[in-house]
Chains A and B, each alone.
Chain A
């Protein structure tokens, strides 16, 4: 599959790197004990440290450190046992300290990898450059008063993990798949809730284009994208914009850009020349962060099974297609549902029922799996009835619709509605005889060589049985009668 983009003057390769800011799932901020709960009244979650009162000092929240280590392990990354917090200095009204505490030269997590499962069944390895811990800033509200800005410091000091990829992605779709996969891993680990609407996960997108095989082109960085759709829109817009500029003989400015969610376009925010000089230096209020290997080992032992491992197991042990396995393992809850539903059943059949019928119904109703009335055991029960021939697959679809509606289990519905499959050869033969008798002309045609009519007879028999005849038996007996 080629990712190249056709321009007026030839093909272009797109190069994308992402910086994802993921809010660490913890009850308290990175350097203060203030709570992090979303939706509190403005300035309700602010400690003396967050407000940068004179003489206040930061103290690292060890749970944030553990969460960063877990995430690093989940990204197959190197955990740096020695890392340093630096100050990134700049003035803004929602940055009370006048600096953000971040990690600059020595981050807590080094290089790792993330595996993308592409829709065509292939996989791509995307490199992780680093992960570091840093403080979030507060929020400025410019639309509350005609001449003043309002400041909400609730987010100030909330712990973020900045996860930086290598420039390894080659299309907007890959970038979206990367964010989706990263979010999936974070959710499995429980280190970030991945909620993009609440701002728990945001991405800065670095985009450049080049002729295939050339050196990297000049990149732009589009900041603060908080949905998969915006990420793809911003990339598509940047790619088109950059190709047009270069093909018109222009040059790309290395700059920071803002995405306009209304128009789906980006515009320049500040150029390289206007870039802040952040005057990074090690925060003298904090000692270097020193981690024991034993703590890393302990956290590693406590990690849940991650999507890649589950996926590999589903394809190799259960024989699922790469695609089904990918869909099922995207969310931890879905994977757990599948494991429970398919235990002791035909694994592939359960996967099929989950990805087609269950997900289809959920999509239609807008419900989440958690709110769904069909329990894993109930879905497994339905598949069990198909496996043992109690109902046909066709009947099962109706049963499933009923289950989804009422939450009853499959056996109950089959019993109540009398949907049990007819596998009594005498009864089926009787129905076949009736159909043959009523369609003498068609029988003649069939026997005269019009093989295609076989399907017509199957349909008539199934119709006579109200769909309950065992399709396999119908086929077998019908063929015997017609051909015999």
Chain B
């Protein structure tokens, strides 16, 4: 086949089953693509030997007619997932050299369905960041370039995953989303990213950032590929007490359902200062596409939206400050020797954690302290319930909600790194879904005047990912988004 890298996962599956291409050939093409796009720094470890072994095994199963859902499909894994025998560091110095003996439930599911592991992918340290600039391995870069040729961030925290899928150095990739960490980079890189309902994917074996918000999800180039990967990675897991025992509907069947008769909400509170006019225009275009496809667009109100970010930036650091206490130099990872136990803790954690992680640990420790708990953490939890109620009320009248994925397109590497508060604003549209535990999908929908991708976000009812795939497919078809980034594998530049 001429261009293996341009096949979607669904197409590749068909080609593999038809014998038009072999799994090792496909994997080989992606391993070459990884080398070719190395400058994007989106892989932190390439497991080429493992990939080829897995591809050979896939080929055997394909021939035996025992192919899994994603049999032979090359997958990149965000470094937040623990992978047995492969270093798993959450892109933090404190986990330097840490190689788990165990496989996360999600990656285990993917390998059971025939996925081929390409390697570990760059992300923000402990998934804390919106630009993939806090990684101990240095920033991952967006394959889309600014008009002046400057490097752009791929978004974060799953920046490397979005970058790799866009750059064609992974056909599919895993991400995790705590406040937008799948949807924002998907929008920045022009790919499809899904944060499923909290509890849909097991958190077992994923390095925790904020346990009540973290959720794994898929990256892909098409909506159909995303549904396919979602189908492979979700499961009810008894090892995760927050995993939901709710059967996943047939997402592939949902793809062609259309939106006829659906009511889709447009929240008035999502029109914000500092939003690109092009983003607003795209949002309106998206509404028109859905209306044209037979949906009824309804203006709705999510009145507590403006409190979502402040609440998020209390709850997430609070949980993180406790979740990251285990990185203490005692049992694994980095240890800086010192004369006393307390000094060993202090020096290990000072050397092992980057600035952003330290900042969030300090915020989290502060908001949980005696005397501040009620004013911060408890109040944030109340806000969280109100935000959930906003959505519950909205879903009494609408089937899904359409919003922009991000207030702007991707920005240059290094631009906002000194201004954490501005960086936080990237999450403004995505955070409410995490607080409410709802599914959310980012779909590429167009380019801005600089030729950079912009995405739309669809939010759904709990465990109603199927509707998001129906809507996502309509937007994908209407947008006919076929632009490709310049710094992709097999590309011209």
Contacts and interface: CB of A to CB of B under 8 A. Distances in A.
Given A55-B104, A55-B206, A281 B241 contact: no
A91 B325 contact: yes
Interface in B321-376: 321-322, 324-326, 328, 330-332, 341-342, 345, 365, 368-370, 373
B88 to A, nearest CB: 7
B325 A98 contact: yes
Contact of B368 (A92, A98, A281): A281
Contacts of B342: 91
Contacts of A59: 238-241
B241 A287 contact: yes
A87 interface: yes
Contacts of A91: 325, 328, 342, 345
B330 A54 contact: no
Nearest to A49: B239
Contacts of A310: none
Contacts of B332: 53
Interface in B232-274: 238-242
Interface stretch (B207-215, B275-283, B463-471): B207-215
B207 A54 contact: yes
A435 B153 CA distance: 119
A287 B211 CA distance: 11
A98 B325 CA distance: 5
A54 B90 contact: yes
A286 interface: yes
A167 interface: no
A56 B237 CA distance: 13
Contacts of B205: 55-56
Contacts of B100: 53-55
Contacts of B319: 281, 284
A48 B331 contact: no
Interface string A93-128: 100111100000000000000000000000000000
A55 B326 contact: no
Contacts, number: 99
Contact of A98 (B95, B104, B242, B328): B328
Nearest to A147: B339
A34 to B, nearest CB: 14
A110 B319 CA distance: 28
A199 B42 CA distance: 52
A96 B331 contact: yes
B207 A89 contact: no
Nearest to A87: B322
Contact of B212 (A55, A97, A284): A284
A89 B241 contact: no
B313 interface: no
A57 B214 CA distance: 13
B318 A281 contact: yes
A97 B242 contact: no
A284 B328 contact: no
B386 interface: no
Nearest to A90: B325
Contacts of A464: none
A273 to B, nearest CB: 12
A132 to B, nearest CB: 18
A51 interface: yes
Contacts of B104: 55
A285 interface: yes
For the residues of B in contact with A, the DSSP-based class is loop
A359 to B, nearest CB: 49
Q: How large is the interface on A (under 10, 10 to 19, 20 to 34, 35 or more residues)?
A: 20 to 34
Interface in A47-65: 48, 51-60
Contacts of B239: 57, 59
Nearest to B318: A281
A54 B82 contact: yes
B102 interface: yes
A151 interface: yes
Contacts of B101: 48
In this complex, the member of A52, A54, A99 whose beta carbon has the largest number of chain B beta carbons within 10 angstroms is: A54
Contacts of B322: 87, 89, 98-99, 279, 281
A98 B207 contact: no
Contacts of A416: none
A248 interface: no
A57 B203 CA distance: 8
B98 interface: yes
Interface string B133-159: 000000000000000000000000000
Interface string A264-287: 000000000000010111001111
B373 A99 contact: no
B96 to A, nearest CB: 13
A31 B345 CA distance: 26
Contacts of A279: 321-322, 365, 368-370, 373
B240 A57 contact: yes
B312 interface: no
B391 interface: no
A54 B212 contact: no
B377 interface: yes
A118 to B, nearest CB: 40
A60 B203 CA distance: 16
A286 to B, nearest CB: 5
B331 A52 contact: yes
B204 interface: yes
Contact of B369 (A55, A56, A151, A277): A277
Nearest to B82: A55
Nearest to A286: B241
Contacts of B82: 53-55
Nearest to B213: A284
A238 B368 CA distance: 34
Given A54-B88, A55-B104, A55-B206, A60 B370 contact: no
A89 B206 contact: no
Nearest to A149: B341
Interface string B76-113: 00000110000010100001001011101000000000
Given A55-B206, A96-B330, A284 B211 contact: yes
B116 to A, nearest CB: 22
Contacts of B241: 57-60, 285-287
A299 B203 CA distance: 33
Given A57-B239, A57-B241, A285-B241, A96 B102 contact: no
A48 B342 CA distance: 24
A99 B319 CA distance: 12
A85 to B, nearest CB: 10
Interface in A3-22: none
A134 B425 CA distance: 39
Contacts of A287: 241-242
Interface in B369-395: 369-370, 373, 377
Interface string B290-332: 0000000000000000000000000000110110111010111
Contacts of B208: 54-55, 285
A284 B241 CA distance: 10
Contacts of B326: 52, 54, 96-98
Interface string A332-345: 00000000000000
A415 to B, nearest CB: 65
Interface in A327-374: none
B210 A284 contact: yes
16 contacts: A53-B102, A54-B88, A54-B100, A54-B207, A55-B82, A55-B204, A55-B207, A56-B204, A57-B241, A58-B241, A59-B239, A92-B341, A93-B341, A97-B325, A284-B211, A284-B319
- The 5 tightest CB contacts between A and B, nearest first, are A98-B325, A284-B212, A279-B368, A284-B211, A52-B326
Given A151-B330, A286-B242, 15 more contacts: A51-B331, A53-B82, A54-B90, A54-B207, A55-B81, A57-B203, A89-B321, A98-B322, A99-B325, A277-B369, A279-B368, A281-B377, A284-B211, A285-B208, A287-B241
